[in-house]
Amino acid sequence: MATPQQRTPPPSVPLPAPDPSVRDAADVAADLGVDPATGLTDAEAARRLAHDGPNELRSRPPVPVWRKVLDQFRDPLVALLLVAVAISLVVWWVEGAHGLPVDAVVIAAIVVLNAVLGLVQESKAESAVAALRSMTEAMSTVLRDGRRVTVRSAELVRGDVLVLGEGDAVGADARLLTATALRVQESSLTGESEAVLKDAAVLPAPAPLGDRFDMVYKGTAVAQGVGRAVVVATGMDTQMGAIARLLDSTEEEVTPLQREIAHVSKVLGLTVIGIAVVVMVLAAVVNDVRTPADLVTVLLLGVSLAVAAVPEGLPAILSVVLAVGVQAMARRSAVVKKLHSAETLGSASVIASDKTGTLTKNEMTIQRVVTASGEVTLTGVGYRPDGEAVAGPADGGGPLTDEALTREAVMVLGGGSLANDAQLTRADGEWTVQGDPTEAAFLVAAHKLAGTVDRVAGFERRGEVPFTSERKLMSALVDPPGDGAWALVTKGAPDVLLPRCTDVQVGDTAVPLDDELRAAALAAVERLSGQAYRTLGVAYRRVPEDTGPEGLEVHESDLVYLGVVGIIDPPRPEVATAVAEARRAGIRIMMITGDHPVTATRIASDLGIVEPDARAVTGTELDELDAAGLRETTRGVSVYARVAPQNKLQIVDALQADGHVVAMTGDGVNDAPALKTADIGVAMGITGTEVTKESAKMILGDDNFATIVAAVRQGRIIFDNIKKFLRYLLSSNMGEVCTVLFGVVFAGVLGLEGAAGGEAVVVPLLATQILWINLVTDSGPALAMGVDPETDDVMARPPRGPHERIIDARMWTGVLSIGLVMGLATLLTIDIFLPGGLVEGGDDLTVARTAGFTTLVLAQLFNVLNSRSETTSAFHRMFAGRWLWAAIGLGVVLQVAVVEVPFLQVAFGTAGLDLAHWAVAVGMASTVLWFDELRKLVWRARER
C-alpha cells in the first residue's frame, strides 16, 4: 500500500457512527440487519430503497418546469420582440384603442407558439438522453434471498451484500466481509495510481480513506481478486457523494459542434441586428414616417427581421437531431454514452479492434492436439460434445491406434479440463457452457477423446493462479483421488509456456526437453497458427501435498510439457464485408490481439484487413520502441499480436500523435486506460467488464465489429444531416434578410411607394409575415432533415478531418447566393403584381405583397430539396425522405391557409390569390432550385 503522505487528503464524510472500518464485519452486518450468507430479502431491499432513495449522485435539484418555460423567453431576440409588442400596445392605447391591436396579438401568439415548440424539442432531447443513460447504467452483483442477482447499481441499499470480482465497479461504500487477493483501483477517490490490496480483517485504529484496507468505495474498481462486502452507505452519503457535493460536477455536456453552432448563432444575431437597425432607419427615411403608429410599424419590421433572420431554433434542433441519431444507433446495438461521441464517430480514421469475439465468433472448438508422439484430430464443431478422435492429418489420418499418442492426448485434454473454470452442463438434451469459451473448448474436447473424462474424475482443486492477458497463463493446483501426489497443471500461450518447461511427456514418462524436441514443439505451434488455429499449450509438474494456495506462481517453472491444442474460432461472417466497407470509407482497420502473431496475421488476411504476407508486430517488440519508432511502426503495421493491455495505450498514443481519430475496442479491466485515451473507446457489452464499460464512450451490445462500422456510418449520416439543416436554415434566413433589405432600399424602383393604397409605411413584407415564415419554414423541415436518410453515399469519402469546420467557406457561399436568389425572386414577384409593375394594370399592394410572401415561403420549401446535398442533384433519391415531404406538404397547406382563410388574412395582412398569382409564385420560387442545380452541375464538372 502507498504511504498516506503521497496523496492529497480526500474530503471525508463522517462515517455512520460507529465507524464500520474499525468494527468487526459481522457486527456491522448485524447492525445493518443482514445475514452475510444470504443478503437482504427482495422485499426488505425494496423497502430500504423507498426509504433512502436511489443510490445516485445528484448534487443539483432537477430544473422545475416553470424555469424551463421562462428559459424559452430568455433569448434576447424574443425579449426584443416582446418589447416591440409592448410599445405597439402602448401606442394603440394612446391613439384611442380602436379595434384589435392585431399585430401585437399575432406576434405575441407566435412567440408563445415558439416557446411551446422549444419546450417540446427540449424534452424530446432530454428523454432521449435519459433513455441512453438507462442503457449504459452500471450494474452490481448482490446477494438477495440467498441468490446472486445482478441489479442496477442505483438500486443498491444499505445492508446489501456485494459480490465483487475482477473488473467490477464498486457500486456503493461497503465494509468487506471476505477478500481473496482483492486489489482495488481507487485512483478516482484517493489519487493513488496503484491498485490497493484489501483485506476483511478489522482496521486497528481509524485511518485516512486510502488506508482503510477493509473498506471499498463507490466509484472505484476491482482490479483483481474476489470478495464480498456489506453496503454501509449509498448515494450522496458515500465518499464520492461528498466529492460530488463539493464539485457540483453535474455540468451538462456541450459538444464542440453545439459550441460552434452557438457561436455562429451569436455572430449572426449581432450582424442581423445591425442590418435591422439600418433597415429601420432607411424605412423611416424612405417613408417619411411622422406618426407614432408608423414608427411602430417600422419598429416591428426591424425587430421581426432580426428575430426571423437568426436561426434561434438551431441549438434546440441540433440536440434533438443528435439525440434521435444516437437512439437510432442504440437500436442497432451501438450505445453511445455521450452525444458528442456520435459526432466524433463520423470522423474516425482508425478502428483498432480486438480479435477474439469481435472479429471472430468466440465459439472455440479444439480440432487438433499435437504431442511428442503425433497428432490427433477431433471432429465436430461448436459446444455439442458430439465428435470423435481420429489420428491427425500429420499422421496420415485414420483411426486412433497409437497408444502413446492417445495417452499423451488424454493428458493434454485432461490437463486443460483441470486448469479450468468453465462449466459444461446438459439440461433437456441441450448442452450449455458457462465461463471462458477457450476453457469450455477443453471440456467439450474431453468428451470426444475416450478415457479423458474418467481420467480427471475425482480431482479436487486446491488453488489457482488466474489467467490474465499479461501472463497468458493459468494454473490449477489439483489433488488426485486417492493418495497420489498433488500437481500443478498449467495451460497458456505456448510461446510463454514452453520456456518454463524442462521436460516433455512421451507415453508414460517425462523425458528432458532437448533442443530437438523443443524445436519440434515450436514447429507444431507455428504450423497450427499458420492454419489460423488459436494455440494453447498444456503442462504440469508434481508438487508437495502441503503446497498452500498462496504464491503458486513460483511453481510455474520446471514443467513437463504435454502438448499443444489447435482451437478454431471462426470469423464472424459479416466482418469481411464491414472491413471492406470501412476501407472504402478511408478508415484503417487494425487488429490488436493477445493471440499468436501467425494466427493473428492469418485471420487478419482472411478478413481482408491485411495482405497474406503482412508483418505482425508483437507487444514485446513494441515495448522496445521509442515514441518515434512507435509512430513509424503504427503507420505501416496493422496487426499486433501477443500484446498486453499497456501496448494498446502505446498504439493509441502513437496514432493520435499522427493526427488520427482512433476508435479502439477493449473488454478487460486493464484495457480501461486505452479506452479512455482513445477518441472513441468501445467496450464489449456482453463480455466486457463494468470498468471497461465505464471508461468507454460507446458500448457494443453484440460485441460485433460490424456494429462499429455501422455506427461510424450512422455518425457520418448524423453529421451530414446537421449540415443539411444548417445549409437550409441559414440560406432561408438569408433570403428573408435580402428581401426586406433590398425591398426597403429599392422601394422607389420597385414601385412600392407609389402603391401605398392607404398605408403610410410601405414595406415589402409585414412583421407578422416574416414571423410566419420563420415559424412555418424553420422547425418542420429542419427537424425532418435531421432524420433524413442518407443522400450521398457517406462511406464513399474519406473521414472528415477532426478540425474541419462544419460551416465552411463553401457552405457560406451557397447560403449567400441562394439567399440572394430568393430575395430577388420575391421582390420581382411583388413588382410584377404592383400597379405600374411588369403586368399591365396590376393589383393592389396587399395582393402583390401576398404573392411575394407566398413566393418566399415556396422558395424556402424548394430550398429543402437543394439543401439535402452540397454537390448531388436534388433529383437524386428525391423521394427518399418521407418526413421531408411531410414537412413540405404541411408548409404548402399552411401557406394556402394563411392566404385564403379570412381570419388569417386579417391577422397576417394577406389577400386571396388567383391561379395566375399562384402560378407566378411557384415559378419564381422554383428559380432557387434551378439556380442551385446549375451550381452543383458546375461543381461536379469541375470536380471531374
Ligand X SMILES: Nc1ncnc2c1ncn2[C@@H]1O[C@H](COP(=O)(O)OP(=O)(O)OP(=O)(O)O)[C@@H](O)[C@H]1O
Interacting residues toward ligand X by CB under 6 A: 354-356, 436, 438-439, 467, 469, 472-474, 491-493, 534, 536, 593-596
CA distance 665 to 643: 14
List of residues 6+ apart from 601 with CB closer than 8 A = 610, 612, 614, 615, 616, 639, 641
Smallest gap from residue 475 Cβ to ligand X (A): 9
Smallest gap from residue 473 Cβ to ligand X (A): 6
Smallest gap from residue 357 Cβ to ligand X (A): 6
**Candidate list 103, 160, 168, 354, residue with the active-site label:** 354
Smallest gap from residue 361 Cβ to ligand X (A): 12
The DSSP result for 778-806, as a single string, is SHHHHHHHHTPPPSS-GGGSPPPPTT--S
C-alpha cell at 193: 495510481
Smallest gap from residue 491 Cβ to ligand X (A): 5
C-alpha cell at 609: 484487413
Q: Which residue has the cell 381570419?
A: 903
CA distance 678 to 354: 14
Contact predicate 501/555, CB 8 Å = no
Which of 124, 229, 213, 211 minimizes the C-alpha distance to 172?
229
CA distance 10 to 32: 26
Could you tell me how many helices (H) and strands (E) the chain has, helices first?
32, 27
CA distance 734 to 822: 8
CA distance 48 to 34: 12
Nearer to ligand X (CB atom), residue 282 or residue 637: 637
Q: How far apart are the first and last CA of the chain?
A: 66
Which sign does the torsion angle of CA 395, 400, 403, 406 carry? Answer: positive
- DSSP E strand boundaries for 138-243: 139-144, 147-152, 161-164, 173-185, 196-197, 215-216, 221-233
Comparing every residue's Cβ against ligand X, the nearest one is 594
Nearer to ligand X (CB atom), residue 272 or residue 528: 528
Question: What is the three-class DSSP state of 461?
Answer: strand
Smallest gap from residue 435 Cβ to ligand X (A): 9
Nearer to ligand X (CB atom), residue 225 or residue 819: 225
Using the CB atoms, write b or e for 71-91: b if 16+ within 10 Å.
ebeebebbebbeebbebbbeb
CA distance 552 to 411: 21
Q: Is 507 exposed, middle or buried (0-12, 13-18, 19+ CB in 10 A)?
A: middle
Smallest gap from residue 703 Cβ to ligand X (A): 10
Smallest gap from residue 556 Cβ to ligand X (A): 12
Amino acid identity of 467?
F
CA distance 527 to 197: 42
How far is residue 720 CA from its own chain's centroid? Answer: 18
Nearer to ligand X (CB atom), residue 114 or residue 438: 438
Nearer to ligand X (CB atom), residue 75 or residue 439: 439
CA distance 454 to 646: 42
Nearer to ligand X (CB atom), residue 169 or residue 565: 565
Nearer to ligand X (CB atom), residue 7 or residue 642: 642
Nearer to ligand X (CB atom), residue 114 or residue 670: 670
- H or E stretch at 851: helix 845-867
C-alpha cell at 28: 456491522
* Count of all residues that appear for the chain in the document: 944
List of residues 6+ apart from 745 with CB closer than 8 A = 282
Nearer to ligand X (CB atom), residue 345 or residue 489: 489
Q: Which residue has the cell 456485494?
A: 162
Contact predicate 152/139, CB 8 Å = yes
Nearer to ligand X (CB atom), residue 607 or residue 765: 607
Nearer to ligand X (CB atom), residue 218 or residue 355: 355
Can 395 be counted among the known catalytic residues? no
Which of 644, 673, 651 minimizes the C-alpha distance to 221?
673
Nearer to ligand X (CB atom), residue 467 or residue 725: 467
Which of 285, 103, 276 minimizes the C-alpha distance to 747?
285
Which of 818, 814, 847 minimizes the C-alpha distance to 831?
847
Smallest gap from residue 379 Cβ to ligand X (A): 23
Smallest gap from residue 471 Cβ to ligand X (A): 8
Smallest gap from residue 436 Cβ to ligand X (A): 5
DSSP-derived pairing of the beta strands 365-371 and 616-618: unpaired
Smallest gap from residue 516 Cβ to ligand X (A): 24
Smallest gap from residue 640 Cβ to ligand X (A): 9
Nearer to ligand X (CB atom), residue 593 or residue 860: 593
| Residue/partner pairs of 144-153 with CB below 8 Å, 24 or more apart | 144/39, 144/40, 144/41, 144/42, 144/45, 145/38, 145/39, 145/40, 145/41, 145/42, 146/37, 146/38, 146/39, 153/55
Positions marked active-site: 354
